A and B are shown apart, each in its own frame.
Chain A
Amino acid sequence: MIASIPSAVLLGVDGRPVSVEVHVSNGLPGLTMVGLPDAAVRESRDRVRAALVSSGFLWPRRRITVNLAPSGMRKAGAGLDLPVAIGVLVASDILAPGAVSGLAFVGELGLDGSVRDVPGTLVLADALRHLRVVVAEAGLDEARLAGGDCVSAPTLAELVARCTGRRPWSDPTPSVPSIAVADGGRPPPDEGDLADVLGQPVARRALEAAAAGGHHLLLVGPPGAGKTLLATRLAGLLPDLDLPMARQVTRIHSAAGALPSGAGLVIRPPFRAPHHGVSAVALIGGGSAAMRPGEIGLAHGGALFLDELGEFPVAVLDALRQPLEEGIVRVSRSRGSISYPARFLLVAAMNPCPCGEAGVPGSCRCSPASRARYARRLSGPLLDRFDLAVRVERPAASALVARCPGEGTGPVAVRVRSARQRAAARGVAVNAHLPARVLDEAAPLDDGARVLLERHLVTGRLSARGLHRVRRLARTLADLDDDGDVLSDLHVAEALFLRGGRGLLLGEDVR
């Protein structure tokens, strides 16, 4: 007798429907699984058998063949436990085929018969939206974010009872969970308040511009200057995600198993801060057969903070360049290739040189050679991606700090939000995404600004690509100051200054 049970597996950030076919026939008792299962799937044989027996069902003393179709795709994860168990029950005539028609199953089984949640429930339920999807109770809220019809059961025995109609699907009202995006308001306290940062007017301005315009930010400064403190305050400045973005981010986090149970849609922009020991695969994604998204995928819609940028392996950093440019990661492996969105704000912090003190001439103890070697760790093209590169000085003497009291996250976030609204009126999420061809319209220059830029172009301090980046940044700075449509030399000069550049690392950009 044959049963075919619909389910799904994860590939990257997408669910792929899978048909679990179970055939029970005469022959040597045992269970064979075909159709490119990975280790976790193959182990489901033992879990399913124990779960059936402890739920009070008879394990058929016959030959069982499980085929996972389409058989050419490698399947990963424990979510196929439940469909395999149901398939065995149907194929051995314990459960009538009619009882499970129109149902799809996703879940892991415990040896005691309990149904457990699996990573990516939202994505998997989305792939099976044309069916009623049975998931673990813990994953029900998440599955319903996909918008389809979902039910759950705590154990295998209870599930069978509900399928056969002996017990009702006693789930709470399948109301659509709260997906209304709260309007900004106060960011969660765990994101830290900008008021904690004392002084640092230049770095603050750069941070604000990064949050408002989506410009990648590099903070360079000596140890203890407050680079990390500053960077972590960025999370609170970013406005809430809009609904399509929240859905996308939630899907990625679900697929990576990074969605806390019962959290609902992710509406706060993520802030990821991987350690500098991170491998290229962990950063970019594509590790297991499921091609799990990496840190940059998880940072989609939010910020990726790389502390001690100079300590990251060169190969890892260079892997960032393509996603930074396209906002999409393409991971190709022998078993297939996937792509997923990865549009994030890159914030990095590093010391200017090995001793950490380089800044104004004469303060660094490193040899020029070791400084050049340190600076060389960052390839020019990567450094080029940073629209903002500023020095963070140790906070000045308390008298100076007293004259520059730290503004809190609240008012800054308001300016950031209104700057982003201006960008939205230009058809982009943030100014950093403005296409070069619309710059003349979106960021027109007055005469002073044009003269200033020409001077920098003629003297070779600015490249053609740098010109576009400076104009976008100046646009953001003017937006933050609420300063009209035409860019003046003030904001262009500020953008040129905040752009910093390689000289910050080499300390020899004297002109």
Chain B
Amino acid sequence: MSGAVPRDRSCAAALLGLPGMTPVRLARLLDGMGPRVAWAAVRAGAHPADPSRRFTAAARQVDPDEVVTRYAAAGVDVLLPGWTGYPAALVGDPGAPAVLCASGDPTVLEARPAVAVVGTRSATPYGAKVAADLGRRLAAAEVVVVSGLARGIDAAAHSGALAAGPGAAPPVAVVGTGLDVPYPRENRALWARVAAAGAVLSEAALGTEARPMVFPARNRIIAALADVVVVVESHRAGGSLYTAEAAARRSIPVCAVPGSVYSAASAGTNELLVDGCVPVRDADDVLAAVALARQGRGMVGPASSPAARGRADPGDPGPVDRLERAVWEAVDDTPTTVETVLLRTDLSLAALTAAGEELVERGLLTAGAGWWSRA
């Protein structure tokens, strides 16, 4: 990084903080132009993306160095695309924030798969439990849980991820308010814990209060960060459906947790299922979807961990002994009766079943009533 970075950072922060600034306007101002050049152009009233000089007067009142000092005092980093910490998943995204604020360590997203666990703010106990379980088990499988730190499902997913214990992947939150304005207030403690363990991201300037439209907008970031989006509970036309929609536009798989057909809190998710989303019962289903998604994009499978190993790449049985290898090779991709395998391998039934047990335990075979198939 060059010595110009501090000046770029302060100018970006200053632009972000101008009154009336929106993500779309900011993106236009910084389109094809560095922050320093854009700042100077705005101040000079000569920016081609601001012909009406909307920001010029305000910009002349602001000292970028003073702005960036305020950010540093609040522990907030200001990131531009391509900088360390700016999530790689957002680079090249059509809706990527031109400037991103981060507290905590946003590099936790690097080299780890990410799953967005989102849902309604008025969650049922069922939804909250599912979200917490998913959060905990996904984090334990070294998957970064991304959510919005809202009430209900979001909070449950973050709490679950934080409860996964040492060695688990830290959670990442994307919020709609400024990073010095915890919202909702009851999640303040959780907010701080997420920031301490992982990262809290926002495209809003410091001091930005909660406004109705900021939340749907930040949902696109959540979707873009994730390999897979899981909607745990959503009312019909609920906010988390924006996340699902944003994911669908980016060809990111959307999974939904089925709920009771009588539960209004599941009306949206059940509708997603009717529309063909992948149903999710537990973290294993999600991990399978993650593996598929990353495979489809030519990436490696999910990080190897005890929980993730259950869904190892089915093409490779890994280091197994010769006998187990022979058994695995005698089993088809479709259900194969144990008797057929017995005839193909010439093993004793005892040796065969013991090897089969081991392969099932390692997730290489699926066992049914009297049959096996490759997992």
Contacts and interface: CB of A to CB of B under 8 A. Distances in A.
B353 A496 contact: yes
Contact of B350 (A403, A477, A504, A509): A477
B339 A202 contact: yes
A359 B368 CA distance: 9
B340 A359 contact: no
A491 interface: yes
A500 B367 contact: no
A358 to B, nearest CB: 9
A186 interface: no
B360 interface: yes
Nearest to B369: A503
A98 interface: no
Given A497-B349, A509-B369, A511-B360, A400 B337 contact: no
B342 interface: yes
A119 interface: no
Nearest to A497: B353
B196 interface: no
Interface in B333-375: 334-340, 342-343, 346, 348-351, 353-354, 356-357, 360-361, 366-371
Contacts of A199: 343
Contacts of B335: 360-362
Interface string B163-190: 0000000000000000000000000000
Interface string A489-511: 11111101110110110111111
Given A202-B342, A360-B335, A491-B350, A452 B357 contact: yes
A391 B369 contact: yes
Contacts of A452: 354, 357
A497 B357 CA distance: 9
Contact of B343 (A390, A404, A494): A404
B356 A493 contact: yes
A481 B350 contact: yes
A129 to B, nearest CB: 51
A359 B343 contact: no
A393 interface: yes
Chain B: number of interface residues, binned into ranges: 20 to 34
Nearest to A202: B339
A276 interface: no
A400 B343 contact: yes
A201 interface: yes
Nearest to A503: B369
A474 to B, nearest CB: 9
Given A400-B343, A493-B356, A497-B338, A205 B349 contact: yes
Most A CB contacts (10 A, CB to CB) among B335, B338, B343, B370 go to: B370
Interface string A202-243: 100100000000000000000000000000000000000000
B356 A497 contact: yes
B339 A493 contact: no
A338 B348 CA distance: 47
B351 A500 contact: no
A490 B343 contact: no
A278 interface: no
Interface in A466-499: 477, 481, 489-494, 496-498
A450 to B, nearest CB: 13
A390 B370 CA distance: 7
Contact of B353 (A200, A494, A506, A508): A494
Contacts of A404: 343
Nearest to A352: B369
A504 B370 contact: yes
Contacts of B338: 202, 497
A201 B370 CA distance: 13
Contacts of B342: 201-202
A391 B370 contact: yes
B356 A503 contact: no
Contacts of A510: 366-368
A436 interface: no
11 contacts: A360-B368, A403-B343, A489-B357, A490-B351, A494-B350, A497-B349, A500-B370, A501-B369, A507-B368, A508-B368, A510-B368
Interface of A: 199-202, 205, 359-362, 390-391, 393, 396, 400, 403-404, 452, 455, 477, 481, 489-494, 496-498, 500-501, 503-504, 506-511
Given A403-B346, A507-B369, 8 more contacts: A201-B342, A202-B342, A359-B337, A489-B357, A493-B357, A494-B353, A496-B353, A511-B360
The 9 residue pairs across chains A and B that have the minimum distance between CB atoms: A503-B369, A360-B335, A493-B354, A494-B350, A490-B350, A391-B370, A497-B353, A493-B353, A509-B369
